[in-house]
Amino acid sequence: MTDRKRILIVDDEPTLCEVLRFNLEAEGYEVHTANSAEDALTMDLSSFNLVLLDIMMGEVSGIQLASIMKKRKDTADIPIIFCTAKDSVDDMVQGLELGADDYITKPYSVKNIIARVKTVLRRVAAAKTNTENENDVITFEKLKISLPNKVCTIDDNEIKMPKKEFELLVLLLSNRGRLFSRQEILNRVWSDEVVVLYRVVDVNITRLRTKLGDYGKHIVTKTGYGYVFTD
């Protein structure tokens, strides 16, 4: 496994930690252990992809550690699986309300742990991919821009446009409501050109409006200031 996921096990039973470590490492994960929440807090928690966390431990409980992690910006998104002997409904609800991704009660089988770990990591990876894909597409009603494919469509019909027109539309559409001066547009879209006149911006705006049809009216001229894509 080239990009090994890092897992932290936090449990006050050293033997249990070692058993889980051995089996998870056999699955290809990089595994670290801590025998208390206090020990875990001395580690770089942000470097882990998942935390297996016991609830009943020393002075700082697993619930408290989870709460600390969820409040910290660098660890808030790290998935947590509670592995605990506390199996009441209230305990389970409290853990899940904190943002835990799963809750496993003791005694449990190692196979169950491994299956839950894989499921949570898959779910997190899928959510991340979906977010990245959403960030690759800029939409306004039925107007869509695919950044990876450099394609603009309206009602799924492609609107042909040259590179600079496309980049100009991306700039305006991804910053709806933001006014850009002609100079700002030149700096952003025509940064690779030595000398470009303001007139070039105006001409490309006119062409964009024509190609976008009804959506062209959303590109508004603020006389003396520049252009803005409005809702």
Strand-strand pairing, 137-140 and 6-10: unpaired
Q: Does residue 2 surpass a pLDDT of 70?
A: no
**Could you report the per-residue pLDDT of 143-171, keeping only the tens digit for each?**
999 888 889 999 989 999 988 899 999 99
Give the percent of the chain with pLDDT over 70.
89
Mean pLDDT, the chain, rounded, equals 86
Segment 194-198 long-range contacts (CB within 8 Å, at least 24 positions apart): none
Name the DSSP letter for residue 218: G
**Cis peptide bond N-terminal to 107, omega within 30:** yes
Round to whole Å and give the CA distance between 108 and 198.
69
- Enter the pTM of the model: 0.58
**Could you report the per-residue pLDDT of 35-68, keeping only the tens digit for each?**
999 999 999 999 999 999 998 888 898 889 999 9
For tokens 């950044």, the residue is 147
